[in-house]
């Protein structure tokens, strides 16, 4: 009996080691990859890059929809098929709060609630959570043709990113800055999807310059 029990334990251990790590991506149009193929959104590109480095990672479970604000993402999570604990969670949300003219205090309160929930979904491992900053849509072709004040858009998004960075630090999670990359891309057609607003697969690949190191750090923790 004892040898059989030991053998069963060995196989159970190998099965646990072989289980792919589970990744949950929370966000909006930037997370789901509006206007690009499913494998070109940054969460899936991130998965492929990490797999190439030898990290066994399942396809990302993405809870995101174009147009969502912080409260809409929170409400959607109530009805989503969540299966915690996740090994890794990313959170990127807030552009639609800015677009709709919502204030910073409201954003901070709702973003903090989402971040706390993301941490709970990793079984209270904040080191396994990454916050991704909000890109600057004002620099895109759509932004420049929108008739809105692009300098004001930039200032408001900067203020929102200060908030999500502060909340990331307060909750001891990693923060990844893609805003500077989005501004460098500007209205370059190769960096944008056909709508002239959302990033192309190429720009999302460039985002990984900031996100990939943060993901490596998160997944290296015990």
Residue 76 lies in a domain: yes
Sheet holding 61-64, edge to edge: 61-64, 23-27, 88-91, 129-132, 174-176
DSSP notation for 8-65: HHHHHHHHHHHSPB-EEEEESHHHHTTTS-GGGSHHHHHHHHHHHTT--BPPPEEEE-
Residue 177 lies in a domain: yes
Report how far apart the first and last C-alpha atoms of the chain are (Å, whole number).
33
pLDDT at residue 19, rounded to an integer: 85
Residue 2 lies in a domain: no
Q: Give pLDDT tens digits for 147-157.
A: 999 999 999 99
pLDDT at residue 221, rounded to an integer: 78
Residue 15 lies in a domain: no
CATH of the domain at 68: 3.40.50.1110
Range of the domain at 57: 23-219
Is the CB of residue 122 less than 8 Å from the CB of residue 129? Answer: yes
57-78 in b/e form (b: 16+ CB < 10 A) is beebbbbbeeebbbbbbbeebe
User: Max Cα separation, the chain?
Assistant: 77
For residue 106, give every residue at least 6 positions away whose Cβ sits within 8 Å of its Cβ, in sequence order, or none: 97
Instruction: Kindly list the distances between the CA atom of residue 121 and the CA atoms of 78, 82, 144, 205, 215, in Å, as whole numbers in the listed order.
Output: 13, 9, 38, 26, 16
Q: Give pLDDT tens digits for 100-144.
A: 999 999 999 999 999 999 999 999 999 999 999 999 999 999 999
pLDDT at residue 74, rounded to an integer: 98
Token reading at 148: 């809105």
Only one residue has tokens 């251990």, namely 13
Helices marked H in the chain: 2-18, 29-32, 42-52, 70-79, 95-99, 104-121, 141-145, 150-170, 179-185, 201-219
Residue 105 lies in a domain: yes
Nearest-angstrom CA–CA distance, 138 and 157: 9
Q: pLDDT of the chain along its 222 residues, tens only?
A: 444 444 344 334 444 456 899 999 999 999 999 999 999 999 999 999 999 999 999 999 999 999 999 999 999 999 999 999 999 999 999 999 999 999 999 999 999 999 999 999 999 999 999 999 999 999 999 999 999 999 999 999 999 999 999 999 999 999 999 999 999 999 999 999 999 999 999 999 999 999 999 999 999 876
Residue 10 lies in a domain: no
Residue 16 lies in a domain: no
Residue 138 lies in a domain: yes
Q: Domain tally for the chain?
A: 1
pLDDT at residue 15, rounded to an integer: 41
């Amino acid at each position: 009996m004892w040898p059989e029990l030991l053998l069963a334990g060995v196989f159970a251990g190998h099965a646990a080691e072989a289980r792919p790590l589970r990744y949950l991506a929370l966000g909006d149009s930037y997370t789901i990859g509006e206007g690009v193929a499913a494998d070109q959104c940054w969460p899936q590109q991130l998965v492929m890059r990490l797999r190439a480095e030898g990290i066994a990672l399942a396809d990302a479970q993405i809870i995101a929809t174009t147009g969502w604000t912080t409260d809409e993402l929170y409400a959607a999570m109530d009805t989503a098929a969540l299966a915690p604990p996740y090994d890794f969670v990313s959170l990127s949300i807030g552009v639609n709060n800015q677009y709709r003219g919502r204030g910073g205090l409201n954003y901070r309160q709702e973003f903090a609630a989402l971040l706390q929930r993301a941490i709970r979904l990793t079984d209270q491992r904040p080191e396994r959570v990454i916050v991704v900053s909000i890109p600057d849509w004002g620099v895109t072709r759509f932004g420049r043709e929108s008739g809105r004040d692009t300098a004001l858009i930039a200032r408001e998004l900067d203020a929102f990113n200060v908030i999500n960075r502060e909340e990331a630090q307060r909750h001891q999670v990693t923060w990844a800055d893609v805003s500077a990359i989005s501004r460098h891309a500007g209205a370059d057609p190769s960096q944008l999807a056909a709508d002239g607003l959302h990033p192309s697969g190429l720009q999302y690949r460039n985002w990984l310059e900031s996100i990939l190191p943060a993901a490596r750090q998160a997944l290296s923790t015990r």
